[in-house]
Structure formats: structure tokens, C-alpha cells
Amino acid sequence: MPELPEVETVRVSLNKYIPHGVIKRVVVKKPKLLKDLTVTQFQSALVGQSFQPIERIGKLLIWPLKGQDLYLLTHLKMTGQFIFVNQEKLIATGHSDADSTMSLTVPNKYTHIEIHFNNGGAVYYNDMRQFGYFKLVNKEELLRVKSKYGLEPLTQNFSLDNFIALLQSNPKANLKQFLLNQSKIAGLGNIYVDEIAHRSGVSPMRKVGTISKKEILNLYEQINKVIKQAIKERGTTFSDYLDADGNKGNFIKYLKVYQRMGQHCLTCKKGEIVKVKIGGRGTHYCNNCQK
DNA sequence: CTTTCTGTTAGAAA
DNA sequence: ATTTCTAACAGAAA
């Protein structure tokens, strides 16, 4: 479930390794993951170059190439993973969960793109559903891409005033779809939207225009709190999310509604967590304490 | 066996 | 202009 906290965790874990090597070899097994780019173009743009520290906007990773007007953009979509290993064919094992038996070897059948470095390290892109993409852009195109993203949580731009103004300019949307909209707020996805609405005591189907000042304040605080805590816990591993070291995220321990349908509410102890579909997305909330 | 569902989102269709 | 639906894909669950 790569949403903001997961993508941020991947970014930070990749940055331990990625900026320290010169790209020696690039393997592309699924050319269709390259957007507007042939395999040869991709390889010749990268080989011999090196990356500067990876940046992020929303759920998008930005890999600047050193000394070039060129940026690699990668999106993990639903099942993308970047796994870094120091030597080829090394086994990366997740250790974050005590009872985890998960382990993975790279490359594997879901490894579609590999970037090898001259220091012996390599980063492997795995993607079971092959929804993710790689794209090369220049600064101008990067700015155009960035401009489509909304307020970025945990930055100065995500101020209470800006948040209130954003809500006021979208009164007809329901809360669920509003929070999921990347052009309004960048980086929230299905899990964190449900968790944030729950912790704010607001129903995901509420029209944004009917949300009170007090509830807006709750939402603002919970977006900050949930995103911060999820980053601290290195994200949520529901099925296949892993960081660049192959570790799972721990935030699953703190989920109050996501995938808890039919269970009792941990917040009010009275309601039941129900699951409905809003805007085509599975949506979880408490039928008692979210109004 | 077939059908439905799943973390995303761009783009088409309505 | 805005909202809803579908397509990319693989695999688990029903």
C-alpha cells in the first residue's frame, strides 16, 4: 500500500545506498513500464551517470541525475517495490515482524527493472501487478508534474489556513473522495484516509461543505498525527509493501478501521466497523462514532 | 470452474 | 466542468 508514509520510507531507505554509486548496467524485462521511452533510451540515459538523493512529492519518487537536466520519476502504484541489495543474488529478508516468515530473493518473477552500480550494489524493481512506471523528464516537465499535486502534508504549505481554504473551495465533494484526491492533498491513499476520517470522528460520506470548524480542526490534526506516526512506524504492510531493505512496516498494529469490518470499534467500544464503497473504493468506518 | 476484490491513477465516458 | 467508470495486471478469496 504505498501511500505517503510508505513512499517516504522507501525514499529514505534507498537514499542510504543510491547516491553512492555510478550506474553500470540497467536491465529492463518489462519495457512497458517505461513511459514514453525505449529500453535503449533509458539505458543510455542512465549508464555512466549517478543519482543525487531521491526526493518525493505525494506518492511519486524523483531521482535526480547528477549534473544533468534529467530526473527519473517512479511510481509504485499498488504493488511496486524497490529492493536494494549490496551484492547480486543476495537474499533480502524482512525482519520487522517477529513472527514473519516472509523472505524474498531478488531478482524474482516480479522483478521487471534492475539498476546495477559499479560498487556491486543493485536496486530491483518488483511489481506483481505491473501498474507502476518509470519516466524520464527534464526540469521543465518535472515542474509541470509537480504542479498537479495539492498540499503536501508535513510541509509548511500544509497550514491550517490553507487546509480550511481548500475545504471551502470543494464543498460538494464527499470527505473520502476529497482526501483521496492527489490534486487537493498529496500522498493520502485508501488506508490513511479511512484512518484519518475515523480518528476525526467524521463520516467518509459527509459533504465537505457540511463539516464544522471543530471537525476541520480534528481532520487537520489527525492528518498530521497519523502521517507522522505511520512514517515513524515505517508504513503499513497489509500484503506486499516493503522498504528498500525488504522490511515490512509496523503501522498495521495501529489500524482502527482499515480491514476491520465486522469488528467492534476500538474508539467508542459501541459501534461496529462497516465497509461500504465510496467512489469505487472500499471504505471502512464506525457506524456509531463517525458522524 | 467463475466471479469479485485488492493498495493507484490517468484517461475515457457520461 | 464534474463525476463516474474502466483499464492496466496478478493472485487470493468467495
| Full pLDDT tens readout for chain A, 291 residues | 699 999 999 999 999 999 989 999 999 999 999 998 999 999 999 999 999 999 999 999 999 999 999 999 999 999 999 999 986 444 454 443 333 334 578 898 899 999 999 999 999 999 988 999 999 999 999 998 999 999 999 999 999 999 999 999 888 889 999 999 999 999 999 999 999 999 999 999 999 999 999 999 999 999 999 999 999 999 998 878 899 999 999 998 999 999 888 889 999 999 999 888 888 888 999 999 999
What residues make up the domain containing A212?
160-286
Number of folded domains that form chain A? 2
Q: Which nucleotide minimizes the distance between its C1' and the CA of A130?
A: C9
Same domain, A41 and A176: no
Same domain, A131 and A255: no
* pTM for the structure as a whole: 0.94
Confirm whether any atom of chain B, the nucleic acid strand, is less than 7 Å from CB of A238.
Answer: yes
Domain boundary among A147, A169, A193: A147
Confirm whether any atom of chain C, the nucleic acid strand, is less than 7 Å from CB of A77.
Answer: yes
Q: Find all residues with CB under 8 Å of A40, minimum gap 6, and list them.
A: none
Nearest of A38, A14, A1 to residue A115 by alpha carbon? A14
- Look at residue A291 and tell me if it is in a domain: no
> Which residue is it, cell 476541520?
A216
Same domain, A203 and A255: yes
Same domain, A197 and A114: no
- Look at residue A153 and tell me if it is in a domain: no
Same domain, A26 and A75: yes
How far apart are alpha carbons A24 and A117 in whole angstroms? 5
Tell me the CATH number at A241.
1.10.8.50
Same domain, A171 and A130: no
- Are A184 and A151 in contact by the 8 Å Cβ rule? The answer is yes
Q: Find all residues with CB under 8 Å of A167, minimum gap 6, and list them.
A: A178, A208, A211, A216
Confirm whether any atom of chain B, the nucleic acid strand, is less than 7 Å from CB of A59.
Answer: yes
Residue–nucleotide distance: A161 CA to B2 C1' (Å): 52
> Which residue is it, cell 460520506?
A205
Instruction: Report helix, strand or coil for A60.
Output: strand
Same domain, A88 and A124: yes
Nearest of A143, A188, A145 to residue A163 by alpha carbon? A188
Confirm whether any atom of chain C, the nucleic acid strand, is less than 7 Å from CB of A37.
Answer: no
Q: Which nucleotide minimizes the distance between its C1' and the CA of A172?
A: C2
Covered bases, chain C (protein CB within 7 Å): 2-6, 8-11
- Look at residue A154 and tell me if it is in a domain: no
Residue nearest to nucleotide B8 (CA to C1'): A77
Same domain, A82 and A168: no
Same domain, A213 and A253: yes
Tell me the CATH number at A42.
3.20.190.10
Nearest of A198, A280, A240, A201 to residue A82 by alpha carbon? A240
pLDDT, position A129: 87
- Look at residue A118 and tell me if it is in a domain: yes
Same domain, A143 and A212: no
Covered bases, chain B (protein CB within 7 Å): 5-10
Domain boundary among A86, A120, A147: A147
pLDDT, position A102: 40
Q: Which nucleotide minimizes the distance between its C1' and the CA of A182?
A: B9
- Look at residue A152 and tell me if it is in a domain: no
- Look at residue A123 and tell me if it is in a domain: yes
Same domain, A96 and A177: no
Same domain, A221 and A174: yes
Domain boundary among A101, A120, A147: A147
Dihedral over alpha carbons A202, A203, A206, A211 (to 10 degrees): -10
Q: Which residues of A have a catalytic role annotated? A: 2-3, 59, 281
Confirm whether any atom of chain B, the nucleic acid strand, is less than 7 Å from CB of A64.
Answer: no
Q: Name the residues in A112-171 having a C-beta closer than 7 Å to nucleic acid strand B.
A: 131, 148
